[in-house]
Structure 1
Amino acid sequence: LLEGKIPGLLARLSDLLLCRWTCRNCCQKCFDCSCCQTNEDEVEILGPFPAQTPAWLISSQNEDKDGDSDNAISELPPTLQDVSPDRRRSSSDTSRSTYSLTRRISSLESRRPSSPLIDIKPIEFGIIGAKKEIVQPTILRKTYTPDDYFRKFEPRLYSLDSNSDDMDSLTDEEILSKYQLGMLHFSTQYDLLHNYLIVRVIEAKDLPPPISYDGSRQDMAHSNPYVKICLLPDQKNSKQTGVKRKTQNPVFEERYTFEIPFLEAQRRTLLLTVVDFDKFSRHCVIGKVSMPLSDVDLVKGGHWWKALVPSSQNEVELGELLLSLNYLPSAGRLNVDIIRAKQLLQTDMSQGSDPFVKIQLVHGLKLTKTKKTSCMRGTIDPFYNESFSFKVPQEELENASLVFTVYGHNVKSSNDFIGRIVIGQYSTGAPESNHWRRMLSAHRTAVEQWHSLRSREDCDRVSPASLEVT
């Protein structure tokens, strides 16, 4: 018996709370009022709302503002006009609640593009009575100040003074007026019969004078330009012209060939770097020109005047040296192979240099042995393939250092220093130390590695062994 009465008691209690003790239609107590009783025929299911608000709901909104309920009922659909007045009222209340929910959702949809930080709880639809209120969605809005949005921007990315300009979008006249580094005249052509690329460096004009140590421009008498030619990305078989003394409009008229297949040449980029020669200091880069060979007709060939652009490399690197080390514990011999060097700094005004390598063995801080390679004439990419052996007992190996110095041969005066590295106890850097450790862990096996040459000042600052040699 109680199971049958409990649902009825809950329904009466719900109606009692919603009607607030007094019926709106008959002004009687809710216990005795017949119109407050829930009728199964009046139950509605609220489903998904239509994409557009119906016309009768818009009219209901206008009438709701004016307070005229009779005109609002006349605008209802015909299916709602035929029902009793009591049901009209209940349907009208439901329609207004439905419209109110639709209106809020529509306003949220209109604000979505400009207000992305809106969190809407899911709307639960269910079966409700004619007098039950529709639960509106809860909107959780976070407040943000304008500084919160602009704090994520990086002003340096939008600065007009940034160096991220696209060089391809500028003409040669614009580049020349912007940087004022001069222009370079050169030509390219591919020889299909012999399978090599021909690059001809013709001349340059309006080159700026070099910058002195105090930051000012020197006079024209100190400008000694030359051009380095290579194919990116690996810079194999690089070439360079002779140095033209005391001029800002040098005429080179030099021709170079690169043995490379035609399809491979089309994937390369020609890099021409104009450098100012300085015998007593590092050479200064004036500017560069890069041209993808896929953008030109290599077979037909052509001549170009290109404006020089600044280079990220302000100074010319000293070059690289390929070495091989091997230690034989049983014989107590330290074997050194000088294989080759590339991109060495030019030390002669004429084309190329005459480089050789001096190898010196230092025990602790005492020079014990000196040897050197043969001199390669007129090149900055010499091949040596020469071997040297030093007697070093195993117990003294941990205190040994090898000093490798590259010089340019000079007949008239002392040899010109190009670069140096130290490998062993007093290594000049991490690559040199790594090479020495690899040799110690691989007995009787030759270990090869490329090393970038360093200046004399850099070596003297970090390696005591460099101070003990000349």
Structure 2
Amino acid sequence: MAYTQLEPINEGVLSRLTDLLLCRWSCRSCWQWCWECSCCQSSDEEVEILGPFPAQTPSWLVNDCHDDKDGNNHSIIQRSTGSSIHNNGHSSPGQRRSSTEITRSTLSLARQLSSLDARRPSSPLVDVKPIEFWAMGPRKEVVQPLRKPPPPADDYFRKLEPRLYSSDSCGGDDVDSLTDDEILLRYQLGMLHFSTQFDLINGHLSVRIIEARDLPPPVTCDGARQDMAHSNPYVKMSLLPDHKNSRQTGVKRKTQNPVFEERFTFELPFLEAQRRTLLLSVVDFDKFSRHCVIGKVALPLNEVDLVKGGHWWKALVPSSQNEVELGELLLSLNYLPSAGRLNVDIIRAKQLLQTDMCQGSDPFVKVQLVTGLKLVKTKKTSCMRGTIDPFYNESFSFRVLQEDLNEVSLVFTVYGHNVKSSNDFVGRIVIGQFSTGPPESAHWRRLLESQRTPVEQWHSLRSRAECDRVSPASLEVT
């Protein structure tokens, strides 16, 4: 009986304790309980004190979290409700009302807690970029190369090539950019027909000079027209850049359309041949003056199939060297001071100027000793028949005292033997006191510095007029 009377009192105390613990009070605006009042609900501004929040979580992750929270809240409510029913054993109207109020208050508190949990940061408050899950896949971002910044305005004029704007280049187009028809129309020097092929078995380059067409009328090297109506052409060939193993065809008399049909071979390896340039020069032979170059053709051998071979018609272009070189002479000098003897060895010559149309040349060398301005001694080599590349290997000895050595000059003159008339002059050099140039002076200086030791050197032959102009010793000989 006492328990029954205290039960309403306990329920009133419990309800007030519950209201106190759950912070329930009646709203003064609408006179409703705080969980039922819309004006008392927490807004976003009330939780702004939590500070900056992390970036937005993906939608699929938020849904799963809400589902889990709702399920947990529902289970909590069921557990709290079930426990109250289990403890009481039976439900009365007052108990149902109190349990309903407890359920509502618990549900409202769970919603508030869930909203706060959703806004509460789970990690230190750092504003980070949201995780991009697609970047963790096997696809990689394409790396673009760095772009070079544009050059400053001051470097603009550095790109210009001065040679393109020089006075020499303004005269016309580059010959390499013109076709054979354009070259023929522009210069009108004719065309050359030739062929090349490399023999891998024997290891030599074969060059065949076939013919030439439409050569211009003969002119002198200074550009003046000659009285002759036809040229006397021949072809001189060499391998650039060092003009090794030069060759030349026979002279064709009085024709502007010569047919040569001559074949020449150059002994060199295949790889060496690919690094060479074949230079073919068409020359006009003149017995009474220097030979003049009509035109030339340059063929880089790395641009053609040497093994397969081929024939070409090439238009002739002007040559910067109007006159043909007179040739070269290899000499060896040696002085013996104890015996007072000056020994001279004439070893060989190459690519001498051709003096005979039919048989090439019959060259020989005359060596003359001049002391001061007086001719002392004259000697000469044997005559080599029908060649422009003679081998002599002949030695001569002159008696010269050591005190007179500084006044000595040696004059070397190459002639082409001629039976019907006087010998044809080819070229000359002077070595000694009155040398004809720096190479000759260097050879004589080496002789004086290294006595008793032979000193060899190649010399380029000069014209008679040039030697007479620079060397007084050349005027003392015939």
Residues 240 and 351, structure 1, Cα contact 8 Å, conserved in 2 = no
Cα offset for 1:377? 2.1
State the TM-score, normalizing by the size of structure 1.
0.65
Kindly indicate whether residue 414 of structure 2 is the aligned counterpart of residue 414 of structure 1.
Answer: no
The amino acid of 2:367's aligned partner reads I
Q: For 1:307, which of 299, 310, 315 is the aligned residue?
A: 315
Q: 1:248 to 1:425 in 2, by over 3 A?
A: same
Match of 1:318 among 320, 326, 329: 326
Task: Deviation per CA, 1:301-356: give whole Å up to 9, x if none.
Answer: 11110000111111111111111111000000001111121221111102532211
Structure 1 counterpart of 2:443, from 425, 430, 435: 435
Give per-residue Cα distances to partners, 1:44-100, cap 9 Å, x unaligned.
Answer: xxxxxxxxxxxxxxxxxxxxxxxxxxxxxxxxxxxxxxxxxxxxxxxxxxxxxxxxx
**One of 327, 333, 341 as aligned partner of 2:341:** 333
Task: Indicate conservation of the 8 Å contact 1:182/1:204, yes or no.
Answer: yes
**Kindly tell me: are residues 431 and 177 of structure 1, through their superposed partners in 2, closer, same or farther at Cα, counting changes over 3 Å?**
same
1:193-251 alpha-carbon deviations (Å, 9 max, x no partner): 22221111111011111224774433553411110011112222211111111111111
Secondary structure in 2 aligned to 1:410? coil
Secondary structure at the residue paired with 1:197? strand
Once the two structures are TM-superposed, the CA of residue 175 in structure 1 deviates from its matched residue by 0.8
Q: How does 1:78-157 map to 2 (within 5 A)?
A: 157=165
| Alignment partner, residue 249 of structure 1 | 257
**Does the 8 A contact of 1:200 with 1:254 survive in 2?**
yes
Match in the other structure for 1:448: 456
1:275 shift after superposition: 0.5
**Conserved 8 A contact 2:336-2:342:** yes
Sort the Cα spacing of 1:153 and 1:263 in 2 relative to 1 into closer, same or farther, 3 A: closer
Note if contact 2:218-2:229 (Cα within 8 Å) is conserved in structure 1: no
Counterparts of 1:26-425 in structure 2, within 5 Å, are 157=165, 162=170, 165-212=173-220, 215-218=223-226, 221-425=229-433
The letter of the residue matching 2:427 is: G
Seen in structure 2, the aligned counterparts of structure 1 residues 326 and 213 have a Cα distance that, compared at 3 Å, is closer
Separation in structure 2 between the aligned mates of residue 163 and residue 278 of structure 1, nearest angstrom: 31
Structure 1's 392 and 459: CA in aligned 2 closer, same or farther, altered over 3 A? same
Structure 2: unaligned runs, 5 residues or longer: 1-149
8 Å contact kept, 1:238–1:343: yes
Deviates more, 1:373-382 or 1:283-292: 373-382
**CA–CA distance in structure 2, aligned partners of residues 213 and 192 of structure 1:** 41
| Alpha-carbon distance between aligned partners in 1 of 2:398 and 2:152, rounded to the nearest angstrom | 77
SS in 2 for 1:221: coil
User: Partners in 2 of 1:185 and 1:266 — Cα distance?
Assistant: 21
d(CA) in 1 for partners of 2:336, 2:294: 48
CA contact (8 A) 1:188 1:200 kept: yes
Q: Which residue of 2 aligns with 1:46?
A: none
SS in 2 for 1:432: helix
Q: What is the Cα deviation at residue 155 of structure 1?
A: 9.5
1:250/1:381 CA distance change after superposition, 3 Å:
same
Instruction: Tell whether the 8 Å contact from 2:221 to 2:322 is kept in structure 1 after alignment.
Output: no
2: distance between equivalents of 1:157 and 1:256?
42
Q: Normalized against structure 2, the TM-score is what? A: 0.64
Report if aligned partners of 1:329, 1:394 keep a CA contact under 8 Å in 2.
yes
Q: Which residue of 2 aligns with 1:8?
A: none
Compute the displacement of 1:405 (Å): 0.3
- 8 Å CA contact 2:230–2:256 kept in 1: the answer is no
Q: Distance in 2 between matches of 1:441 and 1:115?
A: 59
Compared CA separation, residues 388 and 302, structure 1 to 2 (3 A): same
Deviation (angstroms), 1:192: 2.1
Question: Percent identity of the aligned residues?
Answer: 80
Letter in 2 for 1:238: S
* Superposed displacement of residue 262, structure 1: 1.8
Following superposition, the deviation at residue 182 of structure 1 comes to 0.5
- Alpha-carbon distance in structure 2 between the residues aligned to 1:300 and 1:213: 39
1:372-415 CA-partner distances (Å, limit 9, x unpaired): 11222222222222211111111111111110001111122111
CA distance in 1, matches of 2:305, 2:154: 53
- Residues 1:192 and 1:396: Cα distance change in structure 2 (over 3 Å): same
Question: Which blocks of at least 5 consecutive residues in structure 1 are unaligned?
Answer: 1-111, 118-148
Instruction: Note the alpha carbon deviations across 1:233-273, whole angstroms, 9 max, x for none.
Output: 22222111111111111111111111222222122111100
Distance 1:435 1:216, change over 3 A: closer
Q: 1:237 to 1:213 in 2, by over 3 A?
A: closer
The alignment's C-alpha RMSD in Å is: 2.4
Aligned to 1:70: none
Q: Quote the offset at 1:168 in angstroms.
A: 2.7
The answer for the alignment partner of 2:133 in structure 1 is: none
Output the amino acid matched with 1:199.
Answer: V
Q: Which runs of 4 or more aligned residues in structure 1 lie more than 3 Å from their structure 2 counterparts after TM superposition? A: 112-117, 152-156, 158-166, 212-220
SS in structure 2 of the partner of residue 202 of structure 1: strand
